[in-house]
Amino acid sequence: MSAAVVAAGLALTACGGGGSDTGSGSGAKNVVAKAKNDKKLTIGIKFDQPGLGQKQSDGSYAGFDVDVAKYIAKELGVEESGITWKEAQSAQREDLIKKGEVDFIVATYSITDKRKNEVSFAGPYFIAHQDLLVQADNTDITGPESLTGNKKLCSVKGSTPAQNVKEKYAKEVQLQEVGKYTDCVTSLLNKTVDAMTTDDVILAGYASQQPGKLKLVGKGFTDEKYGVGLKKDDNESITAINNAIKKMQQDGAWKAALEKNVGPSGYKIPEPPAIS
């Protein structure tokens, strides 16, 4: 970051331009500097993923990703009261980061080479596996290879799983991409699609909300490394966030957060991943 850019950022900050959703757009400061100086952060999460990132009826937020985000923020010097939560739908995540509308994102955000061209990642803080969610009485969908013919598969725009199935396992599958995962769940319950695909830990949360109606196929077929997304080449912040994740793993808070948020769905709690 050049001295000119820093100066410009400080000038913008001095002129104001705050607001609850400005995120790091208030200046050119990196995440570490903003947390230290402002004691405030804007963090992107999912609002509709039970056990991971969900907006509650009382307006609060709960889930494993939320707990990871709060832990990181506190290690950077920001209390929960200084966090502004912003919804980060899958197709919007890179833009939210690049435009400075969030400081970082913790939203089941898989680290991919394509995404690393636009943003940087800390982590991974969790490794999930792509799977399928189907009607509880379904017997013919046993894995991605069985999604042949006219079967309809639902996932969200801007995410990787549906294309992965079509390209690698079932070229004839009919893809239906929607805005939110809850839209897929509704379609699956209404039997307008045959299956829903995303990561197993996400699907397990939806299955637990619909006992006797939906089930996880249980045949994971990819590794999805969840990272904390932030602006490209903010290396100081990447290091600081990685250190926070390592500390969370080591002091037991990582496992406790998973057991509290994901454990009730029956999902088997894995070992923490190595930080790359």
Residues 115 and 136 in one domain: no
Residues 76 and 139 in one domain: no
Tokens of residue 28, six digits: 């050119």
Q: Can you give the residue range of the structural domain that contains 37?
A: 20-128+225-265
**What would the pLDDT profile of 111-157 be if each residue is shown by its tens digit?**
999 999 999 999 999 999 999 999 999 999 999 999 988 899 999 98
pTM of the predicted protein model: 0.83
Q: Could you give the CA distance from residue 1 to residue 210 in angstroms, rounded to a whole number?
A: 49
Residues 157/199, Cβ–Cβ less than 8 Å: no
Task: Taking the CA atoms of 219, 221, 225 and 229 in sequence, report the sign of the dihedral they define.
Answer: negative
SS3 content of the chain, % helix, strand, coil (to 5): 40, 20, 40
Residues 144 and 207 in one domain: yes
Residues 106 and 232 in one domain: yes
Instruction: Check which CATH number belongs to the domain holding 208 and give it.
Output: 3.40.190.10
**Mean pLDDT in residue range 18-22:** 36
Residues 97/230, Cβ–Cβ less than 8 Å: yes
Residues 123 and 157 in one domain: no
Largest Cα–Cα distance in the chain?
Answer: 62
Residue 247: count other Cβ atoms within 10 Å of its Cβ.
14
Give the number of domains in the chain: 2
Residues 211 and 230 in one domain: no
| 14 is a domain residue | no
Residues 157 and 64 in one domain: no
Tokens of residue 178, six digits: 């929607």
